[in-house]
Amino acid sequence: MNIDHYTYRVTWSSEDDEYIGQCAEFPSLSWLASAPEAALSGIRKVIAQVIEDMAATGEAAPTPFSERRYSGEFRVRVPPSVHRTLAIQAAEQQVSLNRLVSAKLAG
């Protein structure tokens, strides 16, 4: 598994007074460092070690988000009152309900 394909993020942690490196595919793992570059380097090393350990025990590593296939469809349940409000907004804007909701999610 190529660790470059995983989704990394570095943010400032006020609580820790350091940068925190994280990987979306491994949400329980993180790395703290005084510089953002060190936080990224640290979490990448952790992920590499975890994947190596998983392979050694025959465990499958998660597929990176960048390699997953997405259909572009998902179902969302909302209260009837929200559905009605959205349907009215779509009609007023002369767009489909799907287009209205897509625009709201993207915005």
Q: Are residue 43 and residue 13 in the same domain, yes or no?
A: yes
Q: Are residue 74 and residue 93 in the same domain, yes or no?
A: yes
Q: What pLDDT, on a 0 to 100 scale, did the predictor assign at position 103?
A: 96
Residue 93 has pLDDT above 80, yes or no: yes
What's the domain range around 42? Answer: 3-66
List pLDDT tens digits, range 11-58.
Answer: 999 999 999 999 999 999 999 999 999 999 999 999 999 999 999 999
| Residue 47, C-beta contacts closer than 8 angstroms, at least 6 positions apart | 3, 6, 23, 26, 29
Q: What whole-number distance in Å separates Cα of residue 78 and Cα of residue 51?
A: 38
Structure tokens at 46: 């952790």
Pairing of strands 26-33, 18-23: antiparallel
Q: Are residue 25 and residue 59 in the same domain, yes or no?
A: yes
